Amino acid sequence: MNIIIQVSKKLSLLAVAMLLTVMAFAQNTVVQGTIRDAKTKETLPYVSVAVVGTTQGVNTDMNGRYRITINGTYTQLQASYVGYKTVLKNILPSREQTVDILMGDDAKLLSEVVVKAGKKKKYSNKNNPAVELIRKVIANRDKNRSEAYDYTQYKQYEKMFFSLSNLSDKFKNRKMFRNYQFLFQEQDSTAIGGKNLLPMYMEEKLSDNYYRKDPERKKQIVTAHKQVKFDENFIDNEGLQQYFNRMYQDIEIYDNNISLLSNQILSPIANSAPAFYKFFITDTLKDQSPQLVELSFTPRNTTDMLFEGRIYITLDGNYAVENAVLSVNKNINLNFVRQMMATLTFAKNPDGRYHLSGSDLKMDFGINKNKGGGIFGQRTVTIQDFAINQAQPKTIYDGPAVVTSLDAEDKSDMFWQSNRLDTLSVQQRDIYKNIDSLQTIPSFKRTMDLITLFIAGYKNFGPFEVGPVNTFYSFNPVEGFRLRLGGRTTTALSERYYFETYGAYGFKDEKFKYFLSATYSLNDKSIYRFPQNYIRASFQHDTKIPGQELQFVQESSFLLSFKRGNNDMWLYNDIFRLDYVHEFRNHFSYNLGFKTWSQSPAGALYFQNNLNGQPNNVRTLSTTELSLQLRYAPHEKFYQGKLYRTPIPDKYPIFMVQYNQGVRDLFGGDYNYQSITANINKRFYWSQFGYTDIWLEGNNIFGQAPFPLLDIHRANQSYAFQFQSYNLMNFLEFVSDHYASITIDHSFNGFFFNKIPLLKKLKWREVVDFKSLWGGIRNQNNPALHPELLNFPVSTETGLPITYSLGNDPYMEGSVGISNIFKLLRVDYVKRFSYLDNPGIAKSGFRFFVKFDF
């Protein structure tokens, strides 16, 4: 009986315990939902959601979502946000439920109240609590950045989405889209991008990321990658990816400067931020843990390269950024950007500090900032499984900074559904197959064909494309009217073999010119793709201007036909080259080269020496060279094009060393000599004061050689401004067998013009440039001392020398200019400072440069 009573008591106690447990759990209320602007239906980040009658509360994330677990039988939620009316919502206790909230603007009418103020108080940093707070944030900045930990690791999901934006109904209803209305996305007309969007591009990336503080190392392992693929005949997909990733970089608010497009914008928590921003305390969120202060900021000058927005600061002694909303003023000196908004969210670590948990960057671009179609782009980043101070094996950190798994491009749709750290909208989910459908429309193909011809300069015919069109016609004093036709093979013919050719004819010299090259790719990649690894053989029979070295421009371009001064000393060249190029993923590369080069004078140029005391004309100069070039460009990225790839200017330096060996009697070579050239170039960012590009270069030639084999310094007689040529130096004006040079080009990004009322609306930007060259010729290469060498050229009209060696004084020129005229044009007034007595020179002049830039 006692046993039965004891068992009964235990069962009763167990039942009571279970009942209490159920009751305890039953009292928990779970509420989740999304908060949106009532008018635009845009989601609202960082809205304060509190349980009425308690200190419990959360903030919405960057996508406007919230989730809160409530202890107790409370029945109301309160949503509050600066600039919006506070909203109360009823909830059902002890249940899990979804409560979405719409918030309306808090536009209070004060028409019946007349407020008269005295003299407006001038903003000042002195005794300003907002500035005192931001100085505390700055003082604690280093300890709050993720790099303060010895080790960090996390999973990251990136999503990039681009659409044609602000499209009219007329565009949407065009015949070519009649059966493809499903392609369009409709949204509230006040949202970023306007009413009609046509999604065009989507890219997703999953990665594992690791950081080690000592020695410092960052490593990203891309485990999955998915991208909209366009027809390679029209668009270079890898180049498009590089371009968009350059535009939409990570926003590191704890850095002094934040990269945005091709500019760097001062962070609101940079060391010098109080000098350029105005700060205001606009709210205190006391129902949070820890408590937060909403700190709003705006540029002191609205046209400067600065943000405006608000940041939320923790009052727990860390003064960390918990959330941030960054935008730009409509008057900012930033081209083509209609609207921009970046939202950052941070999550708390076990030690009470915070790490970035997500970012959302939206930008809308247009030629006209107020109307017309444009491009809307959005990049969201989601970070999960953030761990601190967990060391990984050394092999994790070794190797390139970014590694892509071999099967990253092969992940199935099921994999992405299971592993995405974010959700896709209907339009984003369908964009991959929709773009495939769009590319089947004949009218779309024709449109893309014309755009490709206009931008890249090539007309595609499948395995072969003809171009570039800007070289089809040109003119010069030696050839007169010059017609040229050429092209190259595409990947439709072969992924490994590439051929390029052209033929040209000059109607004045009545000579044919031609070029042919064959390239074999050793790594199954296009020869323009990184990392390059190929062998190329080429032969060229054509004209050339001595001393004209162009970057990324075809020498036969029609625009280069227009030149100042006398320009009739040319060369006929026969050049055979054999090159082996090998790039590594750490951006170190080498180029092994073999060249035979036959030069003959053309136009008014002649080769003559005084061998045996008598003038002796030399018809041809033959050379055989072996070369080795070493190049290191850490973290280099490219704009990938169909014609070439262009390095993207960045803060990292680029080093290059080249050695050339001339070999006599090898394939007819006439001279033995050695040449070594070294250069370095780097961009320096100065925050609000713009940026500076600096090029340093030096060369030394050992051995004896005639002037065409010495350094004929890069000159420019066109009206285009060339950064790495001397814009007021004549062709063939200076030669050296040793030299050192420096070029400094600085852009102020409108820092001064933005302060002048009559100029700031024009969005012009100030630029300055300076070039200096030291050099000379040693006695062994001076034709006046060695009559077997070729004489320096003289003018056939005046008999005066046109070619000189540099003396004790350097050659110097400088310029001041205005860039961003009509958002495209740079105009420099260039002045020459030395060697002003040389005949036939230009002492000053205007030069022009066209550049698309933000």
C-beta separation of 557 from 551 below 8 A: no
Containing H/E element for 169? helix 169-172
pLDDT for 728: 96
- CA Rg value for the chain: 33
C-beta separation of 674 from 703 below 8 A: yes
Q: How do residues 230-244 score in pLDDT, each as one tens digit?
A: 777 667 777 777 777
pLDDT for 189: 65
pLDDT for 15: 37
Task: Identify residue 624 by its one-letter amino acid code.
Answer: T
SS (H, E, C) 330-346: CCCCCCCEEEEEEEEEE
Rounded Cα distance between 429 and 427, Å, is: 5
C-beta separation of 803 from 784 below 8 A: no
Rounded Cα distance between 841 and 831, Å, is: 11
Containing H/E element for 768? strand 765-776
How far, in Å, are 231, 238, 442 from residue 448 at the CA level?
10, 17, 10
User: Which token pair is 669?
Assistant: 């070579």
At 146 the three-state DSSP class reads helix
What's the whole-model pTM score? 0.80
Cross-strand bridge partners of residue 66: 33
Containing H/E element for 5? helix 2-26
Within 10 angstroms of residue 458's Cβ, the number of other Cβ atoms is: 20
Rounded Cα distance between 797 and 810, Å, is: 28
Tell me the helix, strand and coil percentages in the chain, rounded to 5. 15, 45, 40
Q: Which residues contact 32 (CB under 8 A, 6 or more apart)?
A: 65, 66, 67, 68, 97, 98, 99
Task: Identify residue 311 by its one-letter amino acid code.
Answer: I
139: phi then psi, degrees, rounded to nearest 5: -65, -30
What is residue 84's DSSP assignment? B
Q: How do residues 449-489 score in pLDDT, each as one tens digit?
A: 787 777 778 888 888 989 888 889 999 999 999 999 999 99
Q: Return the ∠ at Cα 331 (arms to 325 and 333), rounded to 5°.
A: 95
Q: Which residues contact 489 (CB under 8 A, 6 or more apart)?
A: 463, 464, 465, 497, 498, 499, 500
Is the sign of the CA dihedral 638, 641, 646, 649 positive or negative? negative
41: phi then psi, degrees, rounded to nearest 5: 65, 10
pLDDT under 50: residue ranges of the chain: 1-27, 108-118, 552
What is residue 709's DSSP assignment? G
- Give Cα 209 to chain centroid, integer Å: 22
At 720 the three-state DSSP class reads strand
C-beta separation of 691 from 681 below 8 A: no
Is the sign of the CA dihedral 187, 191, 197, 200 positive or negative? negative
pLDDT for 68: 85
User: Which token pair is 485?
Assistant: 């036709």
Q: Which residues contact 472 (CB under 8 A, 6 or more apart)?
A: 483, 484, 485, 558
Q: How many helices (H) and strands (E) does the chain have?
A: 11, 46
pLDDT for 851: 83
Rounded Cα distance between 21 and 321, Å, is: 39
Rounded Cα distance between 331 and 780, Å, is: 61
Containing H/E element for 443? helix 442-456
Q: How do residues 340-382 score in pLDDT, each as one tens digit?
A: 899 999 998 888 889 999 999 998 888 877 777 888 889 999 9
pLDDT for 107: 53
Rounded Cα distance between 561 and 473, Å, is: 9
How far, in Å, are 5, 7, 17, 20, 840 from residue 13 at the CA level?
12, 10, 6, 10, 110
